[in-house]
């Protein structure tokens, strides 16, 4: 999927790629893990992320459970014997939300808020369809997944936090995680709190410093000035595509997997639309959202119907507010914080007013 990285000080070397990113990229764009090869365990420190620690897996996970069908959207919910939710699988989507140890995510540099959650967001090897729970391969996968505390989507996403995530290297010495920035300084903008203070256009391969060949044969080269950078949609492609296995393509049209720009992901990305984009109006019915959903915003002043930003929904924070996580210019990278606009979907602040749509990958 990739070849020689660009040579630069502090960046990956040619020798690093010859061994290349077997544990990260190979599982990434190839499309995820087979049901009978679910990853269990990790060298990334288990589920310890942000400032979070938590209790052990719920005892409910080892007891009898039942499967319930719900609608809007069509989904299968796994219930424990006491009626509690163990997992949710949405028809047409690969996102699975499982109940696990409670964790807290925080970013004191930019917000006083915390998100404490028992939701663990995983990526299924295939889109969920009704009846899959009857297969032996799913049953084996599910038993392992309920007790799995290896990094999920949230844990992986926070491996790039602008608040200071430590570098991680694979066996070949390639830096695949660590603090990400939004993009190079935009000389035309003087206000550091302006959403355009740092330039857009940094994709996941810019962060990695790796040339990349997409499934259609398109080959792209990273820009040296963008090494370690990922804009809002580039960050989601880095997490969901490169790290978690959802296919990627390099256009803004329809195709297999995640397209490049936020508006294209909202319109033509994989999975299920859970809040449709209806135009210039703020989306206010948030009851359908679940952790891990991609959320989309119209933040350009003169284009209230044009989606130009995306993030990842985290759930309710400690004030009962709907908080999201995205790569943003003011924080110069991934943030759940409130610099130049609160990272909230509800209310009347900047991003809430611009909230337009949501998709479950």
SS3 311: strand
CB atoms within 10 A of CB 54: 16
113 domain-assigned? yes
DSSP label of 282 = P
- Token pair belonging to 303: 């284009």
Same structural domain, 83 and 106: yes
Percent above pLDDT 90 for the chain = 72
pLDDT tops 80 at residue 162: yes
Give the end of a domain, one of 120, 153, 186. 153
Q: Which residue has the tokens 């995510």?
A: 105
41 domain-assigned? no
Q: Measuring CA to CA, how many Å separate 175 from each of 10, 79, 112, 217?
A: 9, 40, 30, 25
36 domain-assigned? no
Q: What is the structure's pLDDT at 189? A: 58
By residue range, what is the domain housing residue 86? 46-153
Q: Assign 171 a pLDDT band (cuts: 50, 70, 90).
A: confident
Give the end of a domain, one of 95, 123, 153. 153
| For range 194-211, the mean pLDDT | 80
26 domain-assigned? no
Task: Tell me which of 163 and 55 has the higher pLDDT.
Answer: 163
4 domain-assigned? no
Same structural domain, 314 and 191: yes
Number of helices (H), then strands (E), in the chain? 8, 15
23 domain-assigned? no
Same structural domain, 70 and 200: no
Q: Measuring CA to CA, how many Å separate 32 from each of 23, 102, 145, 153, 156?
A: 12, 25, 14, 13, 15
61 domain-assigned? yes
- Asked whether 231 and 186 are in contact (CB, 8 A), the reply is no
Highest mean pLDDT among 19-23, 138-142, 168-172: 138-142
- Count how many domains the chain has: 2
Same structural domain, 96 and 172: no
CB atoms within 10 A of CB 18: 10
| For range 73-87, the mean pLDDT | 96
> Domain containing 344 — which CATH number?
3.90.1720.10
- Token pair belonging to 257: 């997997």
331 domain-assigned? yes
Same structural domain, 242 and 333: yes
Between CA 186 and CA 67 the distance in angstroms is 52
Do strands 85-90 and 75-80 pair parallel, antiparallel, or not at all (unpaired)? antiparallel
Between CA 63 and CA 220 the distance in angstroms is 49
Q: Which residues contact 256 (CB under 8 A, 6 or more apart)?
A: 215, 247, 249, 270
Give the end of a domain, one of 99, 132, 153. 153
Same structural domain, 191 and 168: yes
- Asked whether 103 and 117 are in contact (CB, 8 A), the reply is yes
Distance, CA of 170 to chain centre: 20
Q: Assign 195 a pLDDT band (cuts: 50, 70, 90).
A: low
Same structural domain, 166 and 147: no
Between CA 152 and CA 272 the distance in angstroms is 20
The model's pTM is 0.85
Task: Tell me which of 39 and 291 has the higher pLDDT.
Answer: 291
Same structural domain, 259 and 188: yes
- Residues 318-334 have pLDDT tens digits of 999 999 999 998 889 99
Between CA 350 and CA 217 the distance in angstroms is 40
Do strands 322-328 and 85-90 pair parallel, antiparallel, or not at all (unpaired)? unpaired
Same structural domain, 80 and 136: yes
pLDDT tops 50 at residue 10: no
């Amino acid at each position: 999927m990739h070849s020689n990285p660009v040579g630069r000080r502090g960046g990956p070397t040619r020798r690093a790629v010859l061994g290349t990113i077997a544990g990260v990229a190979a599982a990434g764009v190839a499309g995820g893990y087979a049901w009978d090869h679910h990853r269990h365990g990790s060298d990334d420190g288990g589920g310890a992320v942000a400032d979070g620690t938590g209790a052990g897996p719920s005892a409910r996970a080892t007891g009898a459970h039942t499967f319930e069908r719900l609608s809007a959207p069509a989904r299968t919910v796994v219930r424990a014997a006491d009626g509690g939710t163990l997992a949710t699988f949405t028809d047409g989507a690969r996102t699975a939300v499982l109940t696990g140890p409670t964790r807290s995510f925080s970013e004191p540099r930019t917000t006083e808020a915390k998100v404490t959650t028992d939701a663990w967001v995983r990526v299924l090897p295939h889109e969920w369809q009704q009846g899959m729970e009857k297969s032996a391969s799913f049953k084996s996968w599910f038993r392992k997944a309920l007790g799995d505390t290896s990094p999920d989507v949230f844990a992986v996403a926070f491996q790039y936090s602008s608040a200071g995530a430590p570098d991680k290297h694979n066996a070949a010495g390639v830096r695949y995680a660590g603090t990400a920035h939004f993009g190079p300084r935009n000389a035309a903008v003087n206000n550091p709190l302006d959403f355009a203070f740092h330039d857009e256009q940094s994709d996941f391969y810019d962060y990695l410093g790796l040339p990349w060949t997409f499934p259609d044969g398109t080959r792209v080269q990273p820009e040296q000035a963008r090494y370690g950078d990922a804009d809002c949609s580039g960050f989601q492609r880095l997490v969901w595509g490169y790290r978690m296995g959802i296919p990627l393509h390099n256009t803004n049209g329809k195709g297999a997997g995640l397209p490049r720009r936020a508006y294209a992901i909202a319109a033509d990305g994989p999975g299920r639309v859970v809040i449709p984009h209806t135009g210039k109006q703020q989306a206010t019915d948030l009851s359908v959202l679940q952790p891990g959903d991609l959320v989309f915003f119209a933040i350009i002043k003169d284009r209230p119907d044009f989606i130009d930003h995306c993030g990842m929904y985290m759930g309710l924070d400690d004030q009962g507010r709907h908080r999201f996580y995205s790569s943003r210019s003011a924080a110069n990278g991934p943030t759940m914080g409130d610099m130049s606009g609160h990272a909230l979907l509800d209310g009347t602040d900047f991003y809430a007013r611009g909230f337009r749509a949501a998709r479950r990958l």
